[in-house]
C-alpha cells in the first residue's frame, strides 16, 4: 500500500509572500487523515515551513502513515524553498513526540499555560510602572539581542530571527493601561527597577493572557524577581477577568523552564525544528 499526500484545497498565497495548503493523507487514494502546510516569511531570509494539524484516523495509526506524511510534507516544503521545518505536537501525544525525534526533529520551543484562580500576593515593597521613552529604547535592543541569541541556539537562521525581532519590536506597546492589547511595565522593588514585563492581558471570553517577555535586570538576578514578574502578570489578567495565561519558552532556557514549572505552568504544545537544506 502506498501513502501519499493529495491536495484537498487550492493553495493560498498572501500579501507578505507566505503560502499555505491543506492535504489529505491517502493510502491507495483512500483518505486516512490530513495535514496543513504553511510558510512564514521575513525579508532577507529563507522562508520557514510549518507542518500543522497532522492527524491520522485511529484505525490507520501505528502503520507508518504519519511518518510518510511528514517526509512527504518536507519534500513539499523544500520545493517552497523552506530552509527549515517546524512540527507542532500536543505535549501529551507520546507517539507524536516519538515520531518527531525519530525523524530528526529537535525540541526547540514549548507553549505553556496555566488556569488562574486566585490573585497572588506580591512581595512587600513591589510596584510597577510604565517604561520611560529612554527605557523603551534600551528594552527593545536588549530584548532583540536576547531573542536572536536564543533562536540561534535552537538552530534557527540568524537572518530570520533578526527580521522577526525587528518586526515584533518595531512599535513597542503602550505602558500602564490594562485594557490595551499589550502593555510594557517596569517592576520596581523598594524603589529600584529590577525587571520588565511585556504582557497581553487578554479579554474575558475572547482571548487568554499571554506573556511575551519577562526579563530581570542583570544586577538583580537570582533574587526571585522573575517569579514576581510572573505573579504580576497573573494578577493583571485576573483583574481584567481573564483566567488563563500562556507563554512560550525556549528549550535551552532551563532557568525559566524551572521557574514556570514551579508556578504550575504546564506544556500543552511542543514545537520541534529540523533543517531541510
- The CATH number linked to 156 is 3.40.630.30
Q: Are residues 193 and 122 part of one domain?
A: yes
**Are 145 and 42 part of one and the same domain?**
no
The pLDDT of 197-219, averaged and rounded, is 94
64 shares its domain with 197: no
SS (H, E, C) 191-255: CEEEEEEEEECCECCCECEEEEEEEECHHHCCCCHHHHHHHHHHHHHHHCCCCEEEEEEECCCHH
Residues 191 and 253 in one domain: yes
Secondary-structure percent of the chain, ordered helix, strand, coil, rounded to 5: 30, 35, 30
Say what the pTM is.
0.89
Percentage of residues of the chain with pLDDT beyond 90:
88
Shared domain for 194 and 65, answered yes or no, is no
What distance in Å separates the CA atoms of residue 69 and residue 74, rounded to the nearest whole number?
9
Question: For strand 48-56 and strand 12-13, is the pairing parallel, antiparallel, or unpaired?
Answer: unpaired
Distance CA(98)–CA(56), nearest Å, equals 15
**pLDDT (tens digit, 9 = 90+) per residue, 138-197?**
999 999 999 999 999 888 889 999 999 998 887 655 444 433 578 999 999 999 999 999
Mean pLDDT of the chain: 93
Q: In the chain, how many domains are there?
A: 2
- pLDDT single digits (tens) 24-47: 999 998 999 999 999 999 998 999
The whole-number average pLDDT for the span 75-104 is 95
Q: Are residues 182 and 63 in the same domain?
A: no
Considering the domain boundaries, does residue 277 fall inside one? no
Q: Is 161 helix (H, G, I), strand (E, B) or coil?
A: helix
Report the 10 Å Cβ neighbour count for 70.
Answer: 23
Query: Which pLDDT score, from 0 to 100, does residue 2 have?
Result: 87
The reply to whether 64 and 129 lie within a common domain is no
Residues 134 and 253 both lie in one domain? yes
**Residue 61 C-beta-side C-alpha neighbours within 13 Å:** 10
Residues 238 and 132 in one domain: yes
Amino acid at each position: 500500500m502506498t501513502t501519499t499526500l493529495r491536495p484537498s484545497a487550492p493553495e493560498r498565497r498572501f500579501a507578505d509572500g507566505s503560502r499555505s495548503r491543506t492535504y489529505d493523507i491517502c493510502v491507495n487514494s483512500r483518505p486516512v487523515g490530513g495535514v496543513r502546510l504553511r510558510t512564514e516569511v521575513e525579508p532577507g531570509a529563507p522562508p520557514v515551513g510549518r507542518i500543522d494539524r497532522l492527524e491520522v484516523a485511529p484505525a490507520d495509526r501505528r502503520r507508518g502513515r504519519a511518518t510518510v506524511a511528514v517526509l512527504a510534507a518536507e519534500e513539499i516544503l523544500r520545493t517552497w524553498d523552506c530552509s527549515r521545518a517546524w512540527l507542532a505536537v500536543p505535549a501529551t501525544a507520546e507517539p507524536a513526540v516519538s515520531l518527531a525525534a525519530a525523524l530528526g526533529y529537535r525540541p526547540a520551543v514549548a507553549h505553556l499555560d496555566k488556569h488562574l484562580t486566585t490573585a497572588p500576593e506580591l512581595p512587600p515593597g513591589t510596584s510597577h510602572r510604565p517604561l520611560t521613552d529612554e527605557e523603551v529604547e534600551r528594552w527593545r535592543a536588549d530584548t532583540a539581542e536576547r531573542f536572536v541569541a536564543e533562536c540561534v541556539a535552537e538552530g534557527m537562521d540568524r537572518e530570520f530571527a533578526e527580521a522577526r525581532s525587528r518586526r515584533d519590536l518595531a512599535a513597542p506597546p503602550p505602558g500602564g493601561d490594562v485594557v490595551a492589547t499589550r502593555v510594557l511595565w517596569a517592576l520596581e522593588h523598594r524603589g529600584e527597577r529590577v525587571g520588565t514585563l511585556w504582557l497581553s492581558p487578554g479579554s474575558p471570553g475572547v482571548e487568554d493572557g499571554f506573556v511575551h517577555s519577562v526579563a530581570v535586570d542583570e544586577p538583580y538576578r537570582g533574587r526571585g524577581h522573575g517569579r514576581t514578574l510572573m505573579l504580576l502578570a497573573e494578577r493583571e489578567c485576573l483583574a481584567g477577568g481573564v483566567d488563563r495565561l500562556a507563554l512560550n519558552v525556549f528549550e535551552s532556557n532551563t532557568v525559566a523552564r524551572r521557574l514556570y514549572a514551579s508556578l504550575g505552568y504546564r506544556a500543552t504544545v511542543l514545537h520541534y525544528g529540523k533543517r531541510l537544506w
